[in-house]
């Protein structure tokens, strides 16, 4: 099934906000075999909305629309959709009760502006928004479907998962069943992986499809199956998932599509281990990624960002002679940083980084992008030198990813 996403919002067009909904939608519809034919980002303007819907329906049968539904501006979007699909604006009781409920919980009274959120075109079927006040509106005409959703990513994404995706699948794949499995592989180049899986891919039944999403030392694989026969699909997916796990072996670090820091966190919790970081060039970004995971306080004690050499020696206990002899960006220093983090922050494991993020500070010996990373668990330490390409923020990002991968690998499967 091909679809087009229409993103409405002046704030997106002028670059004040970056659209992440269209990408999220694509990542979550691809497993069902859905293919995005395009994304149109348009202003909060009736003429632009009508023209975009016309152009989209000329190409595809399904249009997903996000934005244009805030309390101060939903008039334009809703009245345009009402004019397009026919009918008149009416009060939707379920939405009004939902708005009341949300406002009561927030302890504020509904005003005329917010009361307007419960008005919807009579030509749509309403899906009540569990996590916000703007209703989701499902329009259908001549076999074509348009679903209008709010622009707030949290609301759109929650309601897509809870209601819109299941209903789209039900509507367009009534007789088909869909199944998918995720696999995260680290430190195997995509080309090497493709060779290893060549035979597996060539012998896949036509109902199954394997997709690759490579990024910075991580390859996310997604096996999707679409078939009429549910029992056959279940068995086939299971046997191919088992076979794929065997082929991936120790390079497979997760069978769900979750962040690396969460994979690491689950391994630590499973083994009852605690974690700290000692960061120079990554400047706290490894700790930031780790603490973005809800519940990380169960295993993450803390971090020492040792930008100054004084902090490396004074707080982490790195030998000053080693800094003088080998430089701050060196194997002995980064290994001592990891050991120091475990000691000072009283943890079993640590990730340590020291490098030249740039744009200045590079030498012919250690050019910009040179990063030493050490990971430690108990008495085992692994360290490695990387040469990253890109600007300061890209070097920091890559070093962060590699540090997480190295500790995941050290902890094993």
First to last CA, the chain: 37
CB 23 to a second copy: min, Å: 3
Q: Which of residues 180-199 bind a second copy (CB under 8 A)?
A: none
* Piece of 95-103, 108-116, 118-126, 338-346 that binds a second copy (CB under 8 A): 338-346
Task: Decide: is 305 part of the binding site for a second copy (CB under 8 A).
Answer: yes
Return phi, psi of residue 255, to 5°: -115, 25
Please pick, from the candidates 277, 313, 354, 383, the single residue that binds a second copy as defined by CB under 8 A: 277
Nearer to a second copy, 58 or 112 (CB): 58
CB 410 to a second copy: min, Å: 21
* CA distance linking residue 308 with residue 337, whole number of Å: 13
Tell me the per-residue interface mask from 13 to 52 with a second copy, x by CB under 8 A, - otherwise. xxxxxxxx-xxxxxx--x-----xxxxxxxx----x---x
* Element spanning 36, H or E: strand 35-42
Please pick, from the candidates 1, 311, 385, 410, the single residue that binds a second copy as defined by CB under 8 A: 311
CB 281 to a second copy: min, Å: 8
Please pick, from the candidates 307, 320, 324, 378, the single residue that binds a second copy as defined by CB under 8 A: 307
CB atoms within 10 A of CB 300: 23
What is the 3-state secondary structure of 319-373? CHHHHHHHCCCCHHHHHHHHHHHHHHCCCCEEEEEEECCCCCCCCCCCCCCEEEE
User: For 40-72, b where at least 16 C-beta lie within 10 A, e where not — what string?
Assistant: bebbbbeebbeebbeebbeebbbbbbbbbbbbe
* CA distance linking residue 17 with residue 151, whole number of Å: 11
CB 293 to a second copy: min, Å: 9
Nearer to a second copy, 277 or 370 (CB): 277
Task: Decide: is 302 part of the binding site for a second copy (CB under 8 A).
Answer: yes
DSSP one-letter code for 206: T
CB 375 to a second copy: min, Å: 17
Strands 125-127, 119-121: pairing kind: unpaired
Task: Decide: is 292 part of the binding site for a second copy (CB under 8 A).
Answer: yes
Please pick, from the candidates 33, 116, 259, 284, the single residue that binds a second copy as defined by CB under 8 A: 284
Task: Decide: is 120 part of the binding site for a second copy (CB under 8 A).
Answer: no
Q: Do residues 161 and 28 make contact, with C-beta atoms less than 8 angstroms apart?
A: yes
Task: Decide: is 300 part of the binding site for a second copy (CB under 8 A).
Answer: yes
Candidates 353, 303, 32, 316; CA nearest to 166 is 32
Task: Decide: is 12 part of the binding site for a second copy (CB under 8 A).
Answer: yes
CB 308 to a second copy: min, Å: 4
Nearer to a second copy, 292 or 413 (CB): 292
Q: Which of residues 342-401 bind a second copy (CB under 8 A)?
A: 344-346, 357-361, 390-393, 396
Handedness of CA 333, 397, 289, 215 (dihedral sign): negative
CB 78 to a second copy: min, Å: 21
Give the residue ranges of DSSP H helices in 30-163: 46-59, 74-85, 93-106, 112-115, 153-159
Nearer to a second copy, 22 or 95 (CB): 22
Task: Decide: is 306 part of the binding site for a second copy (CB under 8 A).
Answer: yes
Tell me the per-residue interface mask from 221 to 250 with a second copy, x by CB under 8 A, - otherwise. ------------------------------
Tell me the per-residue interface mask from 49 to 78 with a second copy, x by CB under 8 A, - otherwise. ---x--x-----------------------
Q: Do residues 384 and 410 make contact, with C-beta atoms less than 8 angstroms apart?
A: no
Nearer to a second copy, 124 or 356 (CB): 356
* CA distance linking residue 55 with residue 133, whole number of Å: 29
Nearer to a second copy, 4 or 233 (CB): 4
* CA distance linking residue 38 with residue 34, whole number of Å: 12
Residue 210, Cα to own-chain centre: how many angstroms? 19
Please pick, from the candidates 213, 247, 269, 273, the single residue that binds a second copy as defined by CB under 8 A: 213
Cβ-proximal residues to 316 (8 Å cutoff; 6+ apart), any chain: 278, 304, 306, 336, 337, 340, 341, 344
CB 91 to a second copy: min, Å: 27
Task: Decide: is 165 part of the binding site for a second copy (CB under 8 A).
Answer: no
């Amino acid at each position: 099934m091909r679809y087009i996403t229409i993103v409405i919002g002046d704030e997106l067009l002028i670059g004040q906000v970056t659209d992440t909904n269209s990408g999220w939608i694509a990542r979550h519809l691809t497993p069902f075999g859905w293919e995005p034919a395009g994304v149109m980002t348009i202003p909060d303007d009736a003429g632009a909305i009508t023209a975009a819907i016309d152009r989209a329906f000329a190409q595809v049968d399904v249009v997903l629309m996000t934005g244009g539904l805030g309390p101060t501006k939903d008039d334009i979007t809703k009245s345009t959709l009402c004019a397009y699909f026919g009918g008149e604006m009416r009060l939707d009781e379920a939405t009004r009760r939902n708005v009341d409920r949300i406002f009561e919980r927030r302890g504020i009274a509904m005003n005329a502006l917010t009361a307007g959120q419960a008005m919807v075109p009579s030509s749509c079927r309403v899906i009540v928004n569990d996590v916000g006040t703007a209703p989701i509106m499902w329009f259908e005409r001549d076999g074509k479907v348009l679903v209008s959703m709010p622009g707030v990513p949290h609301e759109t994404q929650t309601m897509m998962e809870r209601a819109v995706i299941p209903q789209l699948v039900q509507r367009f794949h009534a007789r088909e069943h869909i199944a998918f499995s995720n696999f995260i592989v680290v430190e195997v180049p995509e080309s090497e992986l493709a060779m290893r899986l060549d035979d597996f891919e060539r012998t896949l039944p036509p109902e199954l499809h394997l997709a690759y999403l490579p990024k910075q030392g991580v390859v996310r694989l997604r096996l999707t199956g679409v078939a009429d026969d549910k029992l056959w699909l279940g068995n086939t997916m299971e046997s191919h998932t088992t076979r794929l796990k065997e082929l991936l072996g120790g390079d497979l670090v997760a069978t769900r599509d979750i962040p690396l820091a969460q994979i690491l966190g689950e391994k630590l919790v499973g083994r009852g281990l605690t974690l700290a970081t000692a960061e120079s060039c990554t400047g706290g970004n490894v700790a930031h990624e780790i603490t973005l995971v809800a519940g990380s306080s169960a295993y993450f004690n803390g971090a020492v960002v040792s930008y100054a050499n004084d902090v490396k020696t004074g707080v982490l206990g790195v030998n000053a002679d080693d800094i003088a002899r080998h430089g701050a960006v060196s194997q002995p220093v980064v290994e001592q940083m990891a050991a120091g983090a475990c000691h000072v922050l009283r943890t079993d494991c640590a990730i340590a980084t020291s490098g030249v993020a740039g744009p200045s500070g590079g030498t012919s010996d250690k050019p910009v992008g040179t990063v030493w990373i050490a990971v430690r668990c108990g008495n085992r330490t692994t360290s490695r030198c990387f040469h990253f390409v890109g600007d300061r923020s890209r070097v920091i990002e890559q070093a962060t990813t590699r540090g997480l991968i190295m500790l995941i690998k050290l902890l094993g499967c």
